[in-house]
Structure 1
Amino acid sequence: MHVETPVARATTSPARLRQALDTDLSGPGRGVRSRLAAAVREAVRNGRLAPGTRLPSSRRLAVDLGVARNTVADAYGDLVAEGWLTARRGSATRVTDSMPTRPAQVLSAATPPGEPCYDLIPGNPDLTSFPRAAWLKATRRALATAPGDAFGYGDPRGRPELRAALADHLARFRGVYASPEHMLICAGVSHGLRILGGVLAGRAARSVAVESYGPESHRESLAAAGLRTLPLPLDAHGTDPVPPDHADAVLLTPAHQFPVGTTLRSDRRTAVVDWAGRTGGLVVEDDYDGELGFDHQAVGALQGLAPDRVVYLGTASQTLAPGLRLAWMVLPPRLLEEAVAAKGRIDSCEVLTQLTMAEFITSGAYGRHVRAVRRRYRARRNSLVAALAQHAPKVRVAGTAAGLHTLLGLPSGTEQQVLRSASRQGVSVAGLSQYRHEHSRHVMADALVVGYGAPSPTVWPQALSALMRILP
């Protein structure tokens, strides 16, 4: 792959800089500042401006371009704030030293102008790691052995083969007390929450306590059933999970809180189970990434403490792919009939995927796949932490023990600025503030919620470099 020769580290003249920028910036008019900044970014990306390159003074470049000095100074200032350039009082402005460069051809030609190039949204897995060959093999075996009635309307709980396979798997790897008869297959966690919302509404429930920071889609699923969500308190140890006695249920992500990343302490796990026993309330456990623990033996599911009071929700979205639309609920026996009624009297989840997933689990292929992606994501987590230590040592890192995301604490008042910088540089990333419940009394410090799962292995190094450039 051809890469143009980088500009030397010696002082770059305005003429050489214009050659490296490869665009016409001369003449008056609006937009010179933004065009200059964009051209410098692209020249650094493509290697035409090497790390450490010394740029001409704002005065010299302004004279060469025929624009006001402030226009150039402001463009330089923007690039310094974004991390592309460095400038110290009494010293020259330079391209950030050790700034990674990449050839322009790395980005797909199909990416529309202005669209994000790097997906660092939390919760998205690397879709290129989907085990196509193993999944195809499982599909063939599932089709060859499926009974004829498998392709009828079916049990609304889902295929018995999958429920049996999941019950065994969850008992062994997540400590879930699961009977296949009390399991319900659903098309994603949001679908499961809509089903539960129907169950609670049918019991005249009015409110569900939720974590102060969490997915808005979960709150919307409950609101669609007419349920009010009540934000739980938050302190230095994470969520205080015990809701007020008038709440009818509580929704938690105890193994790896989304998006903050904390693990619910043992005393708080016991306390919320005691609340359910005392009040008759229901605990809903979203174990969205419970199988992706890195640094220690994974914390077992909360459901194992009180199977008659906890609904367990699991999903294949992060370990395999969200496009499978495959999730599951383990229900207390007293809720099963109502959950089936809320789902519908026929199985609404695609049968072949269920049969394939059952074969994938029982053959051991799923376990092997989970171990492989866990190693891959752990390596990405490690490279992210190492890059932060080198390039952004002031950024606070939290929530790294599991899953596909981590929390990066930012200096106060900088979250929106960093998000704007990310947008300009084609980095799709989330700010912590977007997950806050609108009625929460607790406001956490500025932070980014960074997902490191989605980029393919070839794109991940460039995505990581781009992330480093937007951080203060």
Structure 2
Amino acid sequence: MVESWVNYAERIGSDLHLELSAPGSRRAALGKALRDAIRSGRLAPGTRLPPYRSLAADLGVARNTVADAYAELVAEGWLTARQGSGTRVAERALPLHPAVTAQASAPRPRARAPRHDRSARHDLRQGTPDASAFPRSAWLASYRRALHQAPNEAFGPGDPAGRPELRAALAAYLARARGVRTEPNRIVICSGFAHALRLLFGGGSRGVTGNVDRAGNRGGGGQVLRGPLAVEAYGLPFQRELLAAEGVRTVPLPLDEHGARVDRLARERAVLLTPAHQFPTGGPLHAERRAAVVDWARARGAVVLEDDYDGEFRYDRKPVGALQSLDPERVILIGSVSKSLSPAVRLGWMVLPERYVGDVLAAKGDREAWASVLDQLALADLIVSGSYDRHVRRMRQHYRSRRDRLVAALAERAPHIEVSGVAAGLHAVLRLPPGTEPSAVEAAVRQGVALDGLAEFRHPETDMPSDDGLVVGYATPPEHAYGAALEALCGALTPGGTRES
């Protein structure tokens, strides 16, 4: 297994996304990247930068390169350095633009129920983190602090945009860790990815003016976006079903080793992509295609929807920044804490181009009806206190270890199986010989293993050749049950595995 950059300095520092693309020396490129991040507001005044060793490991440069770049920016006044306080952004960044305000409406509480196989002893389905690893102590501490410090108005009707504390915390975190270019007034809090899609394509309560939901919110807006919508040929079925229920036609884009074939985009009004880690096949969208899809959106007056579902979890490659950073006015980034914390914490966010903020708020309602204000305040504290960063780094190591154990077990017990898509994320794809996927799924069921075949995620209208495979979620089982789950999986994949266990 390739040595992972995340092994270095995981105990200290925070994630900081920088792209060293400027010509010249690495020190000059790092200096330029830091200046650009500060000048643009991605790094706010007072932000503490990672220690030399941590950032050097993350970027793959020498420690002295980081030290020299920091020293240069301190001398120029961009940074400050004090003993015991670390290196921080100086108090000189440009102020954020005034907040955007708007009226709004509420979504329909309709969701597709997940499949539960209660007969399965081992759950290796994708989509959920290790529930036993939820940071209970840190969450409780943040919840208590948030509850104690919350202003009285926080206990009244919620702002449909979301709590300003969380939007400010997310703007700073996403800028630092994912390279996102935004401001708090362009972030709208939602209850997750499905909620975001309904707000964008369903117009809240089906866009019918005058409808009142059970919380007393009056629906007001129509659809923010309209189809047809291009999607990747392999993706989550519930997203396609949700869009179909809203009357949105989805057009599949073929995939190859470089990600979605964005050159196939034509007259669609929008495209939904997973550019950091294609779901479920794995791998980032190639740099040339990232630029190409933004160029297409500009030329067509279209928009790119970026599903940043597990961007924090990367293992054997440097982090891939958010596509949104290439053009904040043409890309809508959608994220949530369903992978980093838990799907039980119903919080997500949309980072929007300015022109869509008012329409999304109009679709959402006059008050927040779906995302708990207290949970928003707790998450804001978790981020600002550094506990969220520490949890993500700890889980990154935990899931990397899980991934390594899966790969090692298959190499020993089922060496004929090719494992792909494991450089990042919480699942792996096991490639199978043509025509063997149904029998492999059946064998897994007989071994008491719940998992998905790759065909489950294939768009029914795609014309790209089908691949046989299994999608294995290695994050889901609790630690004490993971070894037995791997044993059962290997038993299903080895000769004789199709017999009853």
Q: Taking structure 1 as the reference length, what is the TM-score of the superposition?
A: 0.74
Distance 1:251 1:153 in 2: 33
Matching of residues 191-206 of structure 1 within 5 Å: 191-198=195-202, 202=223, 205-206=226-227
> How many Å apart are 1:327 and its aligned residue?
0.7
Distance 1:217 1:191 in 2: 12
| Further displaced range: 249-258 or 218-227 | 218-227
Aligned with 1:377 (options 389, 399, 402): 399
Quick one: percent identity of the two aligned structures?
A: 51
Contact 2:294/2:326 (8 A) holds in 1: yes
Distance 2:333 2:441 in 1: 35
Aligned with 1:166 (options 165, 170, 173): 170
2:379 maps to what in 1?
357
Deviations 1:55-76 (A, max 9, x none): xxxxxxxxxxxxxxxxxxxxxx
Contact 1:161/1:355 (8 A) holds in 2: yes
Aligned with 1:144 (options 145, 148, 159): 148
Distance 1:236 1:375 in 2: 26
Distance 2:313 2:255 in 1: 24
Matching of residues 73-92 of structure 1 within 5 Å: none
2:297 maps to what in 1?
276
What are structure 1's unaligned runs of at least 5 residues? 1-111
Flag the 1:204–1:285 CA change in 2: closer, same or farther, 3 A.
closer
Letter in 1 for 2:119: E
Aligned with 2:355 (options 334, 350, 361): 334
| Further displaced range: 167-176 or 192-201 | 192-201
Matching of residues 394-409 of structure 1 within 5 Å: 394-409=416-431
Contact 2:200/2:223 (8 A) holds in 1: no
Distance 1:272 1:238 in 2: 12
Give SS of 1:448's match. strand
> How many Å apart are 1:114 and its aligned residue?
6.6
1:465 maps to what in 2?
487
Letter in 2 for 1:460: Y
Letter in 1 for 2:468: D
| Further displaced range: 217-226 or 116-125 | 217-226
Aligned with 1:256 (options 259, 274, 277): 277
CA RMSD of aligned residues (A): 1.6
Does residue 293 (structure 1) correspond to residue 314 (structure 2)? The answer is: yes
Contact 1:241/1:252 (8 A) holds in 2: no
Distance 1:333 1:432 in 2: 38
> How many Å apart are 1:242 and its aligned residue?
4.1
What are structure 2's unaligned runs of at least 5 residues? 1-115, 208-221, 495-501
Letter in 2 for 1:157: A
Distance 2:421 2:296 in 1: 27
Contact 1:243/1:250 (8 A) holds in 2: no
Matching of residues 39-438 of structure 1 within 5 Å: 115-198=119-202, 202=223, 205-348=226-369, 349-438=371-460
Contact 2:187/2:349 (8 A) holds in 1: yes
Distance 1:451 1:242 in 2: 31
Q: Taking structure 2 as the reference length, what is the TM-score of the superposition?
A: 0.70
Contact 1:411/1:446 (8 A) holds in 2: yes
Distance 1:114 1:306 in 2: 45
1:37 maps to what in 2?
none
Contact 1:253/1:287 (8 A) holds in 2: yes
Distance 1:205 1:190 in 2: 16
Give SS of 2:338's match. coil
Flag the 1:418–1:357 CA change in 2: closer, same or farther, 3 A.
same
**Rg larger for:** 1
Deviations 1:140-198 (A, max 9, x none): 00000000000111210110100000000000000001211010111111111111113
Give SS of 1:220's match. helix
Distance 1:372 1:469 in 2: 30
> How many Å apart are 1:203 and its aligned residue?
5.7
> How many Å apart are 1:243 and its aligned residue?
4.8
> How many Å apart are 1:252 and its aligned residue?
0.3
Distance 1:137 1:242 in 2: 49
Deviations 1:337-378 (A, max 9, x none): 111111222112111110000000000000000000000000
Contact 1:360/1:366 (8 A) holds in 2: yes
Flag the 1:204–1:460 CA change in 2: closer, same or farther, 3 A.
closer
Distance 1:204 1:405 in 2: 31
Give SS of 2:138's match. helix
Distance 2:237 2:118 in 1: 26
Deviations 1:433-453 (A, max 9, x none): 010001000133210000000
Deviations 1:426-472 (A, max 9, x none): 10000000100010001332100000001111000111111111114
Distance 1:237 1:146 in 2: 47
Contact 1:188/1:315 (8 A) holds in 2: yes
Letter in 2 for 1:138: S
Contact 1:197/1:221 (8 A) holds in 2: no
Distance 2:304 2:434 in 1: 35
1:449 maps to what in 2?
471
